Amino acid sequence: MTENSSPTILSWSVKESLLQYVRALGEISYVSGLVELGDELVWPLASDHHDAVGVRIAEFSGAIHLRAHDGLLDIVIADPEVRVNETQGQLSVRTALDAPERVVIATLDGIESSASVLRAEVQVTAAGSAVFGANYPSGTRLSPLTIGSDRN
């Protein structure tokens, strides 16, 4: 990394209306390097590589824990992983801090990619709907995501 470069990050705020709701009625906690900067959640890069068929696999660290209604709403989104090719992708997460398995919570479309930035629209999958307590049916748009330097 040169002196002028910035680390690669994931900017993804899950779903802004959900965060606003939990801020008003519950609590949000951040774990393992995830920070909130303005309206964005910033997830630090853990690993970024391509598999044998050219799919980019970008893994990020950190977790957000959303809790409200005396625990009736209790969502953990940890260690997001983005898998993407030129036209489509998926977003998976761990749904507990110590969970070994990942859940594909969203598909990615509308992908715009350059040498330094990737932007995508994010839509809930059926498995993602279950993670969100069925409050967001499959196909619901979440906040868009961006992978790039923190200067983009």
pLDDT at 38: 84
pLDDT at 1: 32
pLDDT at 6: 62
User: With 90 as the cut, is the pLDDT of residue 152 above it?
Assistant: no
Q: What share of the chain is helix, strand, coil (3-state, %, to 5)?
A: 10, 50, 35
Over range 3-27, report the average pLDDT.
86
pLDDT at 42: 95
Helix (H, G, I), strand (E, B) or coil at 128: helix
pTM of the model: 0.90
Q: What angle do CA 100, 136, 93 make, to 5 degrees?
A: 20
> pLDDT class for 5, splitting at 50, 70, 90?
low
Q: 70 phi and psi, to 5 degrees? A: 50, 40
Over range 90-95, report the average pLDDT.
98
* Mean pLDDT, the chain, whole residue set: 91
Query: Could you give the percent of the chain with pLDDT greater than 70?
Result: 94
Lowest mean pLDDT among 31-35, 61-65, 119-123: 31-35
Q: 28 phi and psi, to 5 degrees? A: -125, 130
Tallying the residues shown for the chain, one arrives at 152
Cα(146)–Cα(152) distance, integer angstroms = 9
Over range 43-47, report the average pLDDT.
95
Buried b / exposed e across 36-75, counting CB within 10 Å, b at 16+?
eeeebbbbbebeeeeeeeeebebbbbbbbbbbbeeeebeb
Helix (H, G, I), strand (E, B) or coil at 68: strand
Over range 118-127, report the average pLDDT.
96
DSSP β-ladder status, 63-68 and 8-12: unpaired
